[in-house]
Amino acid sequence: MVQLLGPQDRLLRVLERQHPSVQVLVRGNEITLTGADADVAAAKTLVDELLAMTKAGHDLGPADVENSARMLRRDENVRPSELLAEAILSTRGKVIRPKTPGQKEYVDAIDQNTIVFGIGPAGTGKTYLAMAKAVQALQRKDVDRIILTRPAVEAGERLGFLPGTLTDKIDPYLRPLYDALNEMMDPEIVPRLIATGTIEVAPLAYMRGRTLNNSFVVLDEAQNTTPEQMKMFLTRLGFGTKMVVTGDITQVDLPTGASGLRLVTRVLKDIEDIHFARLTSEDVVRHSLVGRIVDAYSEYDEKRVAARHEREQAAEFANRAERRAGLQRGPRDRMPKRGLS
């Protein structure tokens, strides 16, 4: 019961927010739900699923309760306890597993395809889950090495020339990948694996001219690749290699705005053994505000695109009207009039 309700009944309050029309009373090891029959049945299903997850060793958090409730509202026949039970990694007392149906589909696609594109907003676990699958593949000896790369593009700022060696200069761009590695593996082991080449963290520019065999390759922040860089990266694929490309096409930092990730969704959409996993705001596992922020920006972008489309249509209509008016006047009417001498 303590695990189910959380410290200071924190999860109980989340449960009550998910079903505000149901009164929840806890006494000892019993939970009593009071309200309309349909509302009580829905709340009971959620409690049963959370209880099953707790018995399976799932360390529940507020996000788990919210995600489970959202899944059940969308489809009452789905079972979050079964859908989210699969663990990818268990390290230092922490279990890494998918937490939403979209994340579960994304993880399954990585197992079933050679190249997977994880496309979605911030906080959906695109890079984190891809790196967890890479570490899992290395531990199972499915691959000989892990290669993590991303383009060295600044997010709207110009940092200028950075001091130090080449490694020092590119380190700020690759720091998020190092942070995730240290969270999934023993921080003392990671430097040794990097020194032996078992794990390689490098900017995308280092990939040209290479053939990557027996590797698990993760390209992060792929929305900041040019079409030429994306083609170069994908053609590095060798035997026994799996590639995962992650990015958010709504956050392009390139000066020209011509994203290789946006283009590749059209070019490779029908190629077998390549999968495009689309994650949405419903797959955000950060603070609940992140999902609402993503939705607000998406709505704003849609309105801006619609307004631009209306302006272009209005301009095209005006141009056509002007051309028709010119044709109706005829060439004689359009000739300049000469003054009388």
Q: Could you tell me the domains of the chain?
A: 2-83 (3.30.1370), 91-286 (3.40.50.300)
Tell me the C-alpha distance between 73 and 77, whole Å.
Answer: 10
> What confidence score (pLDDT) does residue 276 get?
96
pLDDT reported for residue 294: 67
pLDDT tens, position by position, 92-133: 777 888 888 889 999 999 999 999 999 998 888 899 999 999
Asked if pLDDT for residue 315 goes beyond 60, the answer is: yes
Query: What's the pLDDT band for 157 if we cut at 50, 70, 90?
Result: very low
Banded pLDDT at 156 (limits 50, 70, 90): very low
Q: Is 0.85 surpassed by the pTM of this model?
A: no
* Interval 217-242: pLDDT, tens: 999 999 999 999 999 999 999 999 99
For the residues 292-303, what does the mean pLDDT come to?
Answer: 73
Taking residues 23-41, report their average pLDDT.
89
Average pLDDT over residues 29-44: 90
2-20 per-position pLDDT tens digit: 888 888 888 888 888 889 8
